[in-house]
């Protein structure tokens, strides 16, 4: 079966940004086939660019084979109720939990593209701990963004050391997107960071894109 990635995750591939395996399904049967190939559990997310999926009930996590079709139908139904357009559902392998960060781009009317880095997931709104730079940035700028966080010590706390070089590399790749692509907004949230010594330094779990 040929699988199609969403525009958001195609962009991650294009810039060699590590993201969780995902594909877009247009029917419950296609969702089941894709999930069978990925292995359970999976996440089912509405494919609707620019929409905050959780706000409309457009996401189901830890879905097993016994309820994959129902999860697909539930997410589609919630999108219809919310009145948003959609192109099916993203079927995504559940990611190993890690330290959550957010990386994003937003077009400022005065300065142009601005890049954001901060603590992600539920911590985005609670802690409001982030740093900003006007693009383009240098590697030194990116390192300073990491060190500017009030919670920056968490990257070396409790014996779990995270690879700051990989965080800087990720920020530089997002900077390249900001400078080369005509997009209004891009949010990678959450991105799971993993301690040094793992299979990868990070994995992008969710992407919101506004062209």
The 10s digit of each residue's pLDDT in 146-202 is: 999 998 998 887 678 899 999 999 999 999 999 999 999 999 999 999 998 656 899
Number of structural domains, the chain? Answer: 2
Q: What is the CA radius of gyration of the chain?
A: 17
CA angle 103, 81, 78 (to 5 degrees): 55
Position 1 pLDDT exceeds 50: no
pLDDT range class, residue 101, cuts 50, 70, 90: very high
Question: Is residue 29 domain-shared with residue 117, that is, in the same domain?
Answer: no
Domain that holds residue 82: 21-93
pLDDT range class, residue 2, cuts 50, 70, 90: very low
Question: Is residue 25 domain-shared with residue 118, that is, in the same domain?
Answer: no
Enumerate the β-bridge partners of residue 199. none
pTM exceeding 0.85: yes
From its phi and psi, is residue 197 left (phi > 0), alpha (psi between -120 and 50) or beta? left
Give φ, ψ of 19 to 5 degrees. Answer: -130, 160
Enumerate the β-bridge partners of residue 195. 162
Cα gap 118→75, rounded to integer Å: 29
Listed residues 93, 113, 136: the one ending a domain = 93
- Residue 5's pLDDT is what? 84
- Give the CATH number of the domain where residue 165 resides: 3.30.470.20
Residue pair 185/108 in contact by the 8 Å Cβ criterion: no
Residue pair 74/33 in contact by the 8 Å Cβ criterion: no
Question: Is residue 85 domain-shared with residue 105, that is, in the same domain?
Answer: no
- Residue 198's pLDDT is what? 59
Question: Is residue 32 domain-shared with residue 111, that is, in the same domain?
Answer: no
- Residue 58's pLDDT is what? 96
Question: Is residue 111 domain-shared with residue 201, that is, in the same domain?
Answer: yes
């Amino acid at each position: 079966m040929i699988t199609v990635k969403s525009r958001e995750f195609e962009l991650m591939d294009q810039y060699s940004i590590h993201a969780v395996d995902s594909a877009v399904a247009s029917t419950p049967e296609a969702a089941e086939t894709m999930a069978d190939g990925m292995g359970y559990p999976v996440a089912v997310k509405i494919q609707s660019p620019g929409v905050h999926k959780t706000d409309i009930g457009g996401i189901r996590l830890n879905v097993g084979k016994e309820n994959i079709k129902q999860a697909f139908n539930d997410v589609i139904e919630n999108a219809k109720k919310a009145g948003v357009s959609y192109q099916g559902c993203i079927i995504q392998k559940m990611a190993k939990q890690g330290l959550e960060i957010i990386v994003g781009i937003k077009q400022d009317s005065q300065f142009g593209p601005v890049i954001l880095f901060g603590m992600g997931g539920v911590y985005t709104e609670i802690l409001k701990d982030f740093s900003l730079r006007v693009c383009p940035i240098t590697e030194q700028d990116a390192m300073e963004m990491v060190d500017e966080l009030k919670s920056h010590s968490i990257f070396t706390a409790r014996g779990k050391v995270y690879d700051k070089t990989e965080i800087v590399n990720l920020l530089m790749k997002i900077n390249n997107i900001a400078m080369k692509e005509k997009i209004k907004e891009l949010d990678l949230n959450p991105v799971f960071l993993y301690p040094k010594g793992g299979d990868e330094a990070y994995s992008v779990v969710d992407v919101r894109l506004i062209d």
